[in-house]
Structure 1
Amino acid sequence: MPHGIRLTKLSLYVPIVAAFVLMYYGYWKMWAVYSPAVGRDGSVHLRDLLAVAVRAAEAGGDAVREVRDSSTLNAKSKGKTREGAQELYTEGDLRSHRRMTSLFGNTFPNVKVISEEHDDAKLDTSQLWDYTIPEEIQEKIKSIETVPEQSITVWIDPLDATQEYSERLDHFVTTMVCVAVNGKPTIGVIHKPFSKFTVWAVVGQASNVKPRASYNENDPTIIVSRSHSGTVQSYTKKAFGKNTNIIPAGGAGYKVLSLLDLGKDKQPDMADIYMHVTFIKKWDICAGNAILEALGGHLTTLNGDNIDYRDSPSNEGGLIASIGVDHQKLLAKLPERESLGLKQK
């Protein structure tokens, strides 16, 4: 030992204590960032995401029904849409939002979640996933594909068709979850709270629904918004003929379901095409986009562009959704879009 240097017992213990402190904070940080549903490498199983998405949509649906049953709707206006219609939110929207976002936030703390509603409430710690996979999902989703959590954006619509909900037109109401991976709609869940029926799909893997046996491409029935219609009826008849059958309906989720085969007891209005010619938010359409794509269908802007679901919530290009028909032929029939005032890509 060099002359003049003396080691005390304290100096011997300092490095050991420092090592334990670093280990403790490293361990704490690891569990602050990761949950049991997330791999050490930050990977997430698509099947787990689907299970949580289904559970979240159903938990939101429970909240929507509870508010209806308790008669505490408390409808308020968020302002007016670009078409001048009142945009409402209710206690049902907020309760559903809190449960759905809390379930995702508690399970996947680093995943980006974008919801239609916003509040300052902390995550509800009672909203927890029990890590079980529903039997139906286990049977249909065999592949255990994983994706990096930083590639995921979750879109939540805690109550689609709020206007109709306030009018007690509850058959239009849905709760929706969409998981986008690198901006592409990958998992879609649409839940109907008042019939307790859930539709889900994973692009490239499976779905619990199917397309109808046939669709009318030449003389289609077209479903459109009843409250945000803009000039959709005149635009649609110009494209497909003045005698085109048009169904006004509430809720983007409901409209997508009208294109599918849900069985006689669950079938909403039956349409061949879903069109929207005004501004619309991505939480309204991402789940339906994923479901249609998983079944071989399409949901694009009126220009035929795919919609990017990475972050910005606005879809400025309108939409046309179809399945079982030639989507490109439908696009070719559409009149010039400039008159609609939509942004052109």
Structure 2
Amino acid sequence: MNLAGTVHLNKTGIAIFAIGFLLIFYYAFLRDTSSMNNIRTINLKELLQTSILAANEGGLEVLKYKNTNDIRSKGKTKEGANDSVTMADLKSHCVMMGTIKSYDKRIRVISEEAVDKCDYTGSDRIIKLSEIDELVDVNVPVDDVTVWIDPLDATQEFTEGLLHYVTTMVCVAVKNRAVIGVIYQPLIKKWYWGWVGVGLSDKNIQVKAKSDDFIKIIVSRSHKGAVEQMIKSSQLKNFKITTAGGAGYKVLEVVKGENDVYIHTTNIKKWDICAGNAILDALGGKMVDLKGNLIDYGYDSNHIHENGLIASTKSDDIYLNKFVNN
């Protein structure tokens, strides 16, 4: 008995077999590769460019509504302060969200404002920066990306006419870390950006040396919390405390060397601090909570950061470590 048998294939059978094999190979391998390259990844250099455009567009909206008195309350903060929202906040949200979603609708975006309907259809403006064109292309899985936007940081100061404190901010987090930060100051039409491990908007930024016996500390003018008590408990003798509005503004004051350390002890929203965190990291600095932990910016993380923060342009800052340890 011939158990092996004999198989005869004609030309038609061979053709069908070959086509079937190619289809299996395409769906099993080539289609998956194409999906990873063209659908499931996102280019961070392009997203940085889009983030700068979004912050700029939001800033233009903020200035349009600077003289309006449409102020509403979203309720009270945990500390009892009024949590205000203005038409400028809402309009800025719409154009910033629309700009990012126009680039890639798959991106998960978390904004300070929740707007049910926006009439924004996109902008024809293009901001092309030569220094960004020179950067490397980095592609990451889109599911790892979360974009945090603050359409108007320092709303209270905005309502008081203190526009120099106002910023619009965009932050790109990859997994749970702040990687790209953009802070735009609409009043003076200037933006700062940082991409951790890749580059900075101002290559001439120099971290100023400071005397070990004197430190300049910047804190919130409306949410001082227990900062002064914490400083006193650190036994620091020579220091100066400056109050200011807006987390973005305070980070920039540290970045520019006008202040040495930014300290905050009460709750703060992550869209307020994510962009500044990325810029400080890109500069070689650090932003951590008051226990020394890095801040989680993952999509599923709590939008409220509850453990305070301390930020410096130097990751090994002796004062940063001094306050964290107290």
TM-score interval, smaller chain: 0.7 to 0.9
Q: 1:167 to 1:146 in 2, by over 3 A?
A: same
- How far apart in 2 are the matches of 1:288 and 1:171? 17
Please list the CA deviations of residues 124-181 of structure 1 after superposition, one character each: whole Å capped at 9, or x if unmatched. Answer: 2224675x74223214x2x111111111000000000000000011110000000000
Matched, 1:272 2:260: yes
Query: Quick check: 1:215–1:324 contact (8 Å CA) kept in 2?
Result: no
TM-score (norm 2): 0.83
1:151 aligns with 2:144: yes
Q: 2:98 aligns with which of 98, 102, 122?
A: 102
In the alignment, structure 1 residue 322 sits paired with structure 2 residue 312: yes
Partner residue, 2:289: 301
Query: Residue type matched to 1:191 in 2?
Result: Y
> Aligned AA for 1:152?
V
Report sequence identity in percent: 43
Q: Match of 1:136? A: 131
Q: Does 1:208 align with 2:201?
A: yes
Shift in Å, 1:249: 0.5
Deviation at 1:298, TM superposition (A): 0.0
Q: Which moved more, 1:324-333 or 1:241-250?
A: 324-333
Distance in structure 2 (CA, Å) of the matches to 1:211 and 1:90? 36
Distance 2:162 2:281 in 1: 28
Instruction: Give the superposition deviation at 1:233.
Output: 1.9
RMSD: 2.1
| Residue pairs, 1:328-339, within 5 angstroms | 330-334=320-324, 336=326
Q: Distance in 1 between matches of 2:138 and 2:211?
A: 36
Decide whether the 8 Å contact of 2:234 with 2:322 is kept in 1: no
Q: CA deviation at 1:106?
A: 1.6
Structure 1 residue 85: deviation in Å?
1.2
Give the match's secondary structure for 2:280.
helix
How far apart are residue 114 of structure 1 and its match?
0.2
How far apart, CA to CA, are the structure 1 residues paired with 2:76 and 2:54? 29
TM-score by length of 1: 0.79
2:58 is aligned, of 48, 57, 60, to: 60
Deviations 1:64-114 (A, max 9, x none): 00111xx22411121111111111111110010000001111211111100
Do the aligned partners of residues 73 and 149 (structure 1) sit closer, same or farther apart at CA in structure 2, a change above 3 Å counting? farther
Rounded to whole Å, the distance in 1 between the matches of 2:183 and 2:284 is 17
Segments of 5+ residues of structure 2 without an aligned counterpart are: 1-34
Structure 1 residue matching 2:88: 3-state secondary structure: helix
Give the paired residue count.
Answer: 288
Question: Using a 3 Å threshold, how does the CA distance of structure 1 residues 242 and 82 change in structure 2: closer, same or farther?
Answer: farther
8 Å CA contact 1:221–1:244 kept in 2: the answer is: yes
